[in-house]
Amino acid sequence: MSLLEVCNLKVRFQADRRRLRRSSGCVRAVDDVSFAIEPGETLGLVGESGCGKTSLARAVIRLIEPASGSVWFEGEELTRLDAAALRSRRRKFQMIFQDPYTTLDPLMTAGEAIGEALDVHQLCQGEEDRRRQIEVLLSEVGLDPEHARRYPHEFSGGQRQRIGIARALAVRPKLVVCDEPVSALDVSVQAQIINLLRELQRSLGIAYLFITHDLAVVEHISQRILVMYLGRVMEAGEAKLICRSPKHPYTQALLSAVPVLDPDSKRQRIILPGEPPSPIDPPSGCPFHPRCPLAEARCREQTPALREIGAGHQVACHLVAPPPMG
Amino acid sequence: MPLLEIKNLTLDLAFQGATARVVEDVSLQIDSGETVCLVGESGCGKSLTALSIARLVPTPPARYAGGQILVGGQDVLGMSRAELRRLRGRVVSYVFQEPTASLNPVFRVGSQIKESLRLHRPEAATDLEVSRLLKVVGISAPESRMRAYPHELSGGMQQRVMIAMALASQPSLLVADEPTTALDVTVQAQIFDLLRNLKQEFRMSLFLITHNLGVVRDLADRVAVMYAGQIVEHGPADAVLRKPRHPYTKALVNSVPKLGSSEQSLKVIPGQVPRLGAFPQGCRFHPRCGRVRPNCSVETPGLDEAQPNHQVRCPYWIRDAAGFDE
Ligand SMILES: Nc1ncnc2c1ncn2[C@@H]1O[C@H](COP(=O)(O)OP(=O)(O)OP(=O)(O)O)[C@@H](O)[C@H]1O
Ligand SMILES: Nc1ncnc2c1ncn2[C@@H]1O[C@H](COP(=O)(O)OP(=O)(O)OP(=O)(O)O)[C@@H](O)[C@H]1O
Ligand SMILES: [Mg+2]
Ligand SMILES: [Mg+2]
């Protein structure tokens, strides 16, 4: 059984009033997305700004309500639980954010912030046990037990991200949703945090839904990748496979746009025209067709379905040939 | 004569009642038509160095404590207000990370570009020239776009407007301070493609600040690596990326996740970037250096020639590379 299973999830937002006239009046932030995450696995979620990554993640753990679709966690349908039942399950899935500064209370010490997470789910037996657990958590994320007494502003960005991680780990979750956890950090600090997340996964068996727009990071940390564009999944499959031989023209362009360090790499850069269109007025047919170098007439008319083209490899593109029969 | 010559620039900054040396003994040179990149982690002094070229650093809190900046042979630090006005824009133009911070929200973008023209090339302050500039930076339908307010344009489009404004004066040197950090990779690729073309077309020099080593590899002729206010390595981009000499450059290159690499964990630089005013004695990188020797905390290394046109601020590394080998 998968740890998490998401089926045909849709998220809609009310568009702002000024734009209502020209459109159906809603933002299709997430459109018909399905995927699964196995225990201890990392699924990378990539795509450009506004493609719906955060909305998808928030809907999965029901921080916002999806418009339709279902989410199953350990075989139980989250999308059907009432508020009280949901609260009791919350311990099993946690979220960490891009900028821990905005999520940490400036008036709470690191120890208090972590202790609060423990208290919410009543995970301590007495004051002594609580202090010990905080110390263990701090050292798990590479901080000093003595740091428990410090306030957020006394930490560097990387250290604050470690506190955010310790807080998420405090409740021993099965799944951690990481929304751009390293995007605001310097490269040297970024490497420290990525390695930390991987070590914790190995020792604690946590699964990650890892959101980023950095393809090199996502290839590095994930077993599988989901590529999104305008709220829809364009390509999904094994991380190495997608990064080495992407099949969807959007994935190809996205990968080719990443500046790579290797002085010997001789890649052909695909420069896409324009920018992603608005999800309020998504294009007809394939959402990528206005920028796609290969678009044909049918791409404007029919929305391609996400089809299996190889083992666990799915692509939503009319032009990608299905696997040979037999 | 090089277009720009920074000689031993040293900048002090008063903060929290103390004075800190934020830029120390920085020397750089840019020839006409050349692209030079300045890389380094947050807070190492990149922006202050770049702003110094047109003396844009506010004094106080900053104070120029030594060195010279020559643009076309003329000493910028000794210029009168009138001379500085002529230098800014006409010779040196800037593009910053956040276009929203530099564009005035209450004026149409066309009139902001025209203002820049009026200042530097009054004879060309016409709608025709504005629309030509917008076309040069790849904005379609310039006649209608010039009547847009900044908030009506996407981030990538605003950044193009900023570049059009910077180009209005036909500068010999364009200083771009993290011009794409806030943009998506596909838009980033468009902007760099644009800069590359403009450079060729106008034989403009480019001073590009970034923390992305992949960008350096794509665009730079030469690169300078900064750490804690000092240049620690400087040389041809290809040589520096292919065979970094300074332990910091080497560690930085190794800590970046690379697309298509199969390494399991990233090589991490231990510790943190030192805080302003708390730079370590001796070599500033020594507390984090994997090849530290007893001397490193005592002796302050100079920036020495490792190869012709390739300087490194680490005596041991130079010797190792010269034959005693790693
Ligand atoms: N509360 C909201 N009300 C209206 N529209 C919203 C709301 N939240 C998000 N959106 C819109 O939904 C779309 C998807 O947004 P989302 O934040 O999920 O994207 P993202 O992929 O996380 O982007 P980023 O990389 O910039 O974080 C965007 O067009 C956004 O403007
Ligand atoms: N006006 C100011 N007042 C106080 N400190 C300042 C000021 N301007 C810059 N600094 C400090 O000087 C140091 C160098 O700043 P600078 O902006 O040059 O860094 P940078 O390398 O451009 O960093 P980033 O990559 O974050 O832009 C930093 O520690 C910064 O906090
Ligand atoms: Mg987001
Ligand atoms: Mg800066």
Q: What confidence tens digit (pLDDT) does each residue in A178-227 have?
A: 998 888 788 888 888 898 899 889 999 999 999 998 888 999 999 999 99
- CA–CA dist B61, A221 (Å, integer): 43
**Average pLDDT for chain A:** 88
The CB of B231 under 6 Å from ligand 2? The reply is: no
The per-residue pLDDT for B37 is 96
Q: What is the CA radius of gyration of chain A?
A: 21
Asked if B266 is an interface residue toward chain A (Cβ–Cβ < 8 A), one would say yes
CA of B218 to the centre of ligand 3 (A): 27
CA of B17 to the centre of ligand 2 (A): 17
Q: Are A174 and A39 a contacting pair, CB within 8 Å?
A: yes
Residue B162 three-state SS: helix
Q: Say how many C-beta atoms besides its own lie within 10 A of residue B182's C-beta.
A: 17
* A91 contacts: CB under 8 Å, gap ≥ 6: A121, A171, A172, A173
Is residue B317 pLDDT above 80, yes or no? no
Average pLDDT over residues B110-135: 90
pLDDT interval class at A284 (50, 70, 90)? very high
Identify the residue with better confidence: A161 or A74: A74
pLDDT digits (tens, 9 = 90+) for B221-253: 999 999 999 999 999 999 999 989 999 999 999
- CA–CA dist A166, A148 (Å, integer): 11
The per-residue pLDDT for A250 is 96
| Beta-carbon separation of A260 and B241 below 8 A | no
pLDDT digits (tens, 9 = 90+) for A296-325: 999 999 999 999 999 889 999 999 977 666
pLDDT digits (tens, 9 = 90+) for B28-63: 999 999 999 999 988 899 999 999 999 998 888 889
- The proportion of chain A whose per-residue pLDDT surpasses 90, expressed as a percent, equals 55
Considering the four listed CATH numbers 3.40.630.30, 3.40.50.300, 3.90.550.10, 3.20.20.70, the one that applies to the domain covering A4-244 is 3.40.50.300
Is residue A326 pLDDT above 80, yes or no? no
pLDDT interval class at B10 (50, 70, 90)? very high
The per-residue pLDDT for A324 is 65
Residue A240: closest CA among B65, B6, B264, B165: B264
- The proportion of chain A whose per-residue pLDDT surpasses 70, expressed as a percent, equals 94
Identify the residue with better confidence: A241 or A98: A241
Length of chain B as a residue count = 326
pLDDT interval class at A272 (50, 70, 90)? confident
Average pLDDT over residues A97-102: 73
Asked if B242 is an interface residue toward chain A (Cβ–Cβ < 8 A), one would say yes
The per-residue pLDDT for A323 is 64
Q: From edge to edge, which strands make up the β-sheet containing B230-236?
A: B92-95, B173-177, B205-210, B35-39, B222-227, B230-236, B310-312, B304-307
Angstrom CA distances, A76 to A39, A72, A82, A113, stand at 15, 5, 12, 30
Average pLDDT over residues B285-309: 90
> A319 vs chain B: nearest CA distance in angstroms?
21
Confidence (pTM): 0.87
Average pLDDT over residues B318-325: 52
pLDDT digits (tens, 9 = 90+) for A10-24: 999 887 655 545 555
Identify the residue with better confidence: A5 or A164: A5
The CB of B46 under 6 Å from ligand 2? The reply is: yes
Is residue B325 pLDDT above 50, yes or no? no
Mutate to test the pocket of ligand 2, among B276, B279, B284 (most ligand atoms within 8 A of CB): B276
pLDDT interval class at A246 (50, 70, 90)? very high
pLDDT interval class at B323 (50, 70, 90)? very low
The per-residue pLDDT for A211 is 94
The per-residue pLDDT for A17 is 57
Considering only the beta carbons, identify the residue of A187, A244, A258 that sits closest to B41.
A187
Q: Name which residue sits closest to atom 27 of ligand 2, judged by CA.
A: B42
- CA–CA dist B62, A65 (Å, integer): 51
Is residue B160 pLDDT above 50, yes or no? yes
Using CA coordinates, name the residue in chain B closest to A186.
B41
Domain residue limits, chain A: 4-244
| Beta-carbon separation of A261 and B256 below 8 A | yes
Residue A236 three-state SS: strand
- CA–CA dist A232, A255 (Å, integer): 18
Mutate to test the pocket of ligand 1, among A26, A51, A95, A177 (most ligand atoms within 8 A of CB): A51
Q: Are B71 and B205 a contacting pair, CB within 8 Å?
A: no
Read off the tokens for B264.
């399991």
- CA–CA dist A249, A255 (Å, integer): 10
Atom number in ligand 1 closest to CA A278: 29
The per-residue pLDDT for B326 is 43
Is residue B156 pLDDT above 90, yes or no? no
The per-residue pLDDT for A101 is 66
Residue A303 three-state SS: coil
Considering only the beta carbons, identify the residue of A189, A216, A260 that sits closest to B217.
A260
